[in-house]
Amino acid sequence: MQILQNIRVTEKKIFAGERLRRLRERTDIKQSQLARLLGISPSYLNQIERDQRPLTPRLLERLARVLNVPTTYFADSEDARRENQLKEDLADPLFRTLPGAQAEVQALVRTAPAFAEAFMTLYRAYTTQGEQLAAPATSLPRFPYDEVRDWVQSRQNHFEALDRAAETLFEENNFSTAALSQDLRRHLRDAHGITTSTAAGLLKAGVFWRLNRAARRLHLAEDAAPESEIFWLAHVIGQLEHKPLIEKELRRVKFSSEEALGLARIALANYFAGALMLPYGRFHAAARAVRHDIQRLQRQFGASFEQICHRLSTLQRPDLPGIPFYFAKTDIAGNILKRSSATRFSFAQFGGSCPLWNVHRAFARPGEILVQLATTPDDVTYLNIARTVGRGGGSYLARPRAVAVVLGCEIRHAELMVYSAGLNLNNPAAADPVGPGCRACARTQCRHRSVPPMGWTLDTGTAERGMVPYRLIGGT
């Protein structure tokens, strides 16, 4: 622990008044009742809810226990995401006349999160419309994907009801991780009268599986990886057995389009599949026992590297939380295909991601696990691991997709990770200065910058030359 204390990490005070008030009202608890349960005065609680006093670590633990939520519920990771996104939106030249107002942005996000979300939704709709007008008519808008992705992240990539339903199904049917494929096939046959078989040509047609309800047969793509087959079987079981639970979860949020609603439905079925493959209690205990060694967890559960990483990022059950991770999947061109975060780590909305991020170097060293210490502009240091994932396409002409994943947690959790072995944790200079992407990054002196940050004035005078062919003067 002494080593970890030496690393330069900013522990920020947690002001969570609005979140606490909304949660208290949602659970129908009066302010005086909650104050009594917490052992504090009503006036003190009132000051906390008005953001006049921060939450202390001891009070944070008590609140989480009394209200049955993880302590991360009150952490500022979601506020940090909103702040970064709102600052990036306001840096658009459209708002160039607005003065720089970091304190005002923080206050807006903290006291009126619904208004902040509404503004950002409106701005995303505006930018999407512009892209559609500028793009060919056949282009598909990004907006539904962004909407669902942000929704999943707002839930810290954890859906407890589905998670528990999957775990119950696994335990009550005495499924085995060593023979899960056979168990799931047998369950589909016995519970739903559906038989499974492999079918040639599906992968070539871009199809993983096809369910023929009339013939009561599930066709799985031939030559698929065993862990992929298990995931598809679990996905179909989730659709068949837990549709009401999925729809109940979807009714809690209002999506802007049928496309977004459909994508969210698929996302929840996928979530159930991952939870059935890697049941929470068993997986949580195994991860702690092996210090989150992903390769050992792969062997124990018969899952892929990506599946293990993604499941680790979902372990946010209130009564048994795991390490808060962020997770991302990217292709070789730098496009982020999947992302979620239970940490303060945020992703840029526009432009590419930071070139110093170790996930980009993974493509040069395929199959190798790359470990990195990285510090973000808000002075939080992360332990990141990255690796290419996927497998060959089955033939020379298949052109397999090149993708990589990255999993990261704050440095204060490093002692629980096998990947911290051998790292110089007590030297801040050992951490790479990683940002959310050049357009959103505040590091003006970075020699790796490709474009100016949004909202800054450029000085292109010739009196001097820096690392980039312009100087930056102030920001909006």
Q: CA 314, CA 152: separation in Å to the nearest integer?
A: 10
Write the Ramachandran bin of 51: left for phi over 0, alpha for psi from -120 to 50, otherwise beta: left
CA distance between the termini of the chain: 40
At what angle are helices 160-172 and 226-241 packed, to 10 degrees?
110
Pinpoint the alpha helices (H) of 342-467: 358-361
Element (H, E) at 375: strand 370-375
In contact, 361 and 349? CB cutoff 8 Å: no
Question: What's CA 281's distance to the chain center, in Å?
Answer: 21
The one-digit pLDDT tens for each residue of the chain (476 residues) are 433 333 333 345 677 777 788 788 877 889 999 999 889 999 998 888 887 888 888 888 888 888 877 766 676 666 776 777 777 777 666 665 454 456 677 777 777 777 887 787 787 777 766 655 554 444 444 468 888 888 888 788 899 999 999 999 999 999 999 999 999 999 999 999 999 998 888 877 778 899 999 999 999 988 888 999 999 999 999 999 999 999 999 998 888 889 999 999 999 999 999 999 999 999 999 999 999 999 999 999 999 999 999 999 999 888 899 999 999 999 998 888 888 888 888 777 666 788 899 999 999 999 999 999 999 988 889 999 999 997 655 566 666 778 999 999 999 999 999 999 989 888 888 899 998 888 778 787 788 887 777 666 677 666 666 666 667 666 54
Same domain, 285 and 171: yes
Q: Is residue 347 part of a domain?
A: no
Question: What pLDDT is stored for residue 303 in this prediction?
Answer: 96
Q: For 50, list phi and psi in degrees, rounded to 5.
A: -95, 10
Same domain, 146 and 294: yes
Other beta carbons within 10 angstroms of residue 279's beta carbon come to 21
- The tokens 């989730």 sit on which residue? 238
In contact, 3 and 374? CB cutoff 8 Å: no
Q: Is residue 216 part of a domain?
A: yes
Same domain, 51 and 148: no
Same domain, 269 and 170: yes
Same domain, 62 and 146: no
Q: Is residue 384 part of a domain?
A: no
Question: What pLDDT is stored for residue 4 in this prediction?
Answer: 39
Amino acid 381 reads T
Q: CA 220, CA 212: separation in Å to the nearest integer?
A: 11
Question: What pLDDT is stored for residue 141 in this prediction?
Answer: 44
- The domain spanning residue 37 has which CATH number? 1.10.260.40
Which DSSP symbol is given to 470? S
Same domain, 158 and 276: yes
Other beta carbons within 10 angstroms of residue 329's beta carbon come to 20
Q: Is residue 260 part of a domain?
A: yes
Q: Is residue 383 part of a domain?
A: no
Question: What pLDDT is stored for residue 3 in this prediction?
Answer: 38
Same domain, 270 and 152: yes
- The tokens 């160039």 sit on which residue? 96
In contact, 10 and 378? CB cutoff 8 Å: yes
Q: Is residue 117 part of a domain?
A: no
Same domain, 289 and 164: yes
Q: For 5, list phi and psi in degrees, rounded to 5.
A: -70, -25
Q: CA 170, CA 309: separation in Å to the nearest integer?
A: 20
Number of domains in the chain: 2
Same domain, 24 and 170: no
Same domain, 57 and 155: no
Which DSSP symbol is given to 55? B
Same domain, 271 and 153: yes
Q: Is residue 62 part of a domain?
A: yes
Same domain, 149 and 55: no
Instruction: Dig out the tokens for 299 from the structure.
Output: 């062997």
Closest CA to 366 of 400, 338, 318: 400
In contact, 409 and 325? CB cutoff 8 Å: yes
Question: What pLDDT is stored for residue 9 in this prediction?
Answer: 37
In contact, 8 and 425? CB cutoff 8 Å: no
Q: Is residue 348 part of a domain?
A: no
Given 275, 302, 329, which residue is the final one in a domain? 302
In contact, 146 and 256? CB cutoff 8 Å: no
Given 28, 51, 73, which residue is the final one in a domain? 73
Domain of residue 202, residue span: 142-302
